[in-house]
């Protein structure tokens, strides 16, 4: 796989990336739900971003962190929900769908390599399953994240981008707000996405849980 800066810039300008991600979060991550009596935690109303009319209008942090150059993601850690998982690159399959990580490995996340690298200006996206046929998976607890929680993403250049959560919401897959979730706010941001909402064996999950976070420091 190629990680050259020039290739990254070419991919970032393609409108297909955002469209494919809407398809991913509306379909591809919904195929492996476990039919459990008690489902994964869902976001509380208090965890939503301050205004439903944004994300672009979300206030910038008091001391903005300088964006990082391109480097692929290698690991994601969310201490408050016990996440510590390797990250693989995910792209699109032969049908044009963005691929989720293999569901057989419950502790594996995917970084959408045709988008922004974590820490760069723009919105980076990390995805993972909420569960599989054997039980909870990497982002099972995503819906319980609170504002102010930190998400750390290790990069292959040896640096760690630290993001602070400013909102967590669940969206119906049929009306998933792609522009709001993936739009460039002018700051280095991160979205962590998994399945959520109601579940049925026939349809899988009805929606997706999305954590909204912004870069606050670099290690």
pLDDT digits (tens, 9 = 90+) for 61-84: 556 899 999 999 999 999 999 999
Greater pLDDT, 97 or 144? 144
Domain residues for 128?
A: 5-218
Q: Which residues pair with 163 in a beta bridge?
A: 151, 215
Which tens digits make up the pLDDT trace of 83-128?
A: 999 999 997 667 545 578 999 999 999 999 999 999 999 999 999 9
3-state secondary structure of 39: coil
Judging by DSSP bridges, how do beta strands 160-172 and 150-155 pair with one another? antiparallel
**In Å, what is the CA distance from 92 to each residue of 38, 98, 100, 105, 120?**
32, 4, 9, 19, 21
Domain count, the chain: 1
CB 125 within 8 A of CB 21: yes
What pTM does this model have?
0.80
Cα dist from 79 to 44, 54, 167, 168, whole Å: 19, 27, 17, 16
Which residues share a beta bridge with 91? none
- Write the CATH number for 109: 2.40.260.10
Measured between alpha carbons, how far is 110 from 98 in angstroms, rounded to an integer? Answer: 10
């Amino acid at each position: 796989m190629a990680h050259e800066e020039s290739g990254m810039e070419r991919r970032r300008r393609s409108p297909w990336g955002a469209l494919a991600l809407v398809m991913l979060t509306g379909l591809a991550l919904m195929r492996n739900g476990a039919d459990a009596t008690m489902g994964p935690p869902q976001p509380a109303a208090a965890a939503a971003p301050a205004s439903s009319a944004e994300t672009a209008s979300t206030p910038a942090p008091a001391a903005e962190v300088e964006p990082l150059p391109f480097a692929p993601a290698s690991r994601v850690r969310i201490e408050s929900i016990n996440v510590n998982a390797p990250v693989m690159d995910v792209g699109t399959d032969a049908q044009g769908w963005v691929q989720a990580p293999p569901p057989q490995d419950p502790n594996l996340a995917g970084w959408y390599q045709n988008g922004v690298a974590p820490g760069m200006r723009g919105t980076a996206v990390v995805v993972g399953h909420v569960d599989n046929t054997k039980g909870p998976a990497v982002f099972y607890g995503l819906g319980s994240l609170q504002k102010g929680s930190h998400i750390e993403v290790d990069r292959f250049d040896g640096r760690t981008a630290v993001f602070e959560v400013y909102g967590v919401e669940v969206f119906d897959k049929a009306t998933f707000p792609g522009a709001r979730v993936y739009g460039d706010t002018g700051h280095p941001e991160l979205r962590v996405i998994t399945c959520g909402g109601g579940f049925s064996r026939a349809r899988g999950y009805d929606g997706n849980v999305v954590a909204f976070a912004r870069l606050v420091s670099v290690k």
